[in-house]
């Protein structure tokens, strides 16, 4: 992929999700993860969006947080979050997974969200404030270059966003970098079967629609293992297009990984 192509794709994704944030703020329907074949058909609402969350979880959220849920799963359920942990959500969007994570790690924990779209960050901060969340911090940045120190996070989650990155190798490397030894990954994403070429994936849907940019199972495993992670697994949950699946991706960072000294984070004002 050339630099110009990567920049064009990144801007297309940014504008797509900025428009989604504006639609939520205006009180209009956002649709699903994106445009194209991933949203076609009567099952689209089951493949993407708030349907992956329980009624109890949706009851914990402001209406706009639920409306802005454009993902393909529920990473907060996958990651088994614990009291006092530090969680990072890559591509945090309207903040649904950060808010739910912040509640689960409690006041002694922190939930970070990183997003490159100003409109989504503003919506997420508004949602966190409305939900009364004080241990959520939303940071502007790209998931290929996470604005957090190495070894600072217990859990990395993400909900149908890695497929949108233009440099997925950098994203997976960043996951390995920010995780503490013993840290873990709980990602929901669109993943392709190994036999599908990049061209075949593009035939099934758009890049901004979460299809064309999807990694295959083998690519995900190789990328996470290359980032120093182990126990990597990719579990398909259901098919959304021929050879394309919503999937749960898990991995851990070995306890033996070298620890680096961490700065003390005292400013949580980024929550709102």
What does pLDDT average to over the chain? Answer: 82
Residues of the chain with pLDDT under 70: 1-4, 24-72, 257-272
The structure tokens 């909900």 sit at 159
* Residue 141 pLDDT: 96
The structure tokens 């990954």 sit at 185
* Residue 134 pLDDT: 96
Could you tell me which of 14, 6, 3, 2 has the C-alpha nearest to residue 213?
6
Q: State the burial class of residue 263 (Cβ atoms within 10 Å of its Cβ: 0-12, 13-18, 19+).
A: exposed
Query: CA dihedral defined by 52, 201, 90, 133, rounded to 10 degrees?
Result: -30
**97 found inside a domain:** yes
**270 found inside a domain:** no
**31 found inside a domain:** yes
* Residue 135 pLDDT: 97
* Residue 10 pLDDT: 75
DSSP state of 214: P
**87 found inside a domain:** yes
CA atoms of 27 and 38, how far apart (whole Å)? 23
- Start-to-end C-alpha separation, the chain: 37
**250 found inside a domain:** yes
**262 found inside a domain:** no
Q: Which range marks the domain in which residue 66 is found?
A: 3-257
Task: Report how far apart, in Å, the C-alpha atoms of 228 and of each of 58, 150, 172, 178, 244 are.
Answer: 35, 13, 10, 11, 26
pLDDT tens for each residue of 19-53: 877 776 666 544 445 433 333 333 344 444 455 55
CA atoms of 79 and 248, how far apart (whole Å)? 10
**190 found inside a domain:** yes
* pTM for the structure as a whole: 0.81
**264 found inside a domain:** no
Cα–chain center distance at 22:
19
For residue 52, the number of C-alpha atoms closer than 13 Å in the C-beta half-sphere is 28
Q: Give the CATH number of the domain where residue 93 resides.
A: 3.40.50.150
**Domains held by the chain: number:** 1
């Amino acid at each position: 992929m050339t630099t110009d192509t990567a920049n064009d794709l990144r801007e297309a994704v940014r504008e797509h999700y900025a428009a989604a944030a504006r639609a939520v703020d205006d009180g209009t329907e956002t649709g699903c993860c994106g445009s194209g074949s991933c949203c076609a058909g009567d099952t689209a609402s089951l493949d993407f969006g708030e349907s992956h969350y329980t009624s109890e979880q949706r009851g914990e959220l402001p209406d706009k947080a639920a409306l802005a849920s454009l993902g393909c799963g529920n990473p907060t359920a996958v990651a088994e979050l614990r009291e006092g942990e530090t969680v990072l959500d890559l591509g945090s969007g309207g903040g649904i997974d950060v808010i739910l994570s912040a509640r689960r790690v409690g006041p002694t924990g922190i939930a970070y969200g990183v997003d490159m779209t100003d409109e989504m960050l503003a919506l997420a901060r508004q949602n966190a404030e409305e939900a009364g969340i004080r241990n959520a911090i939303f940071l502007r940045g790209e998931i290929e270059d996470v604005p957090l120190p190495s070894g600072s996070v217990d859990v990395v989650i993400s909900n149908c966003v890695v497929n949108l990155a233009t440099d997925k190798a950098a994203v997976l490397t960043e996951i390995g970098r920010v995780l503490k030894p013993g840290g873990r990954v709980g990602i929901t994403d669109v993943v392709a079967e190994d036999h599908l070429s990049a061209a075949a994936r593009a035939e099934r849907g758009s890049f901004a629609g979460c299809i064309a940019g999807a990694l295959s199972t083998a690519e995900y495993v190789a990328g996470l293992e290359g980032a120093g992670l182990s126990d990597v697994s990719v579990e398909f949950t259901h098919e959304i297009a021929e050879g394309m699946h919503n999937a749960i991706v898990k991995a851990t960072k070995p306890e033996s990984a070298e620890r680096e000294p961490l700065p003390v984070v005292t400013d949580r004002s980024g929550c709102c």
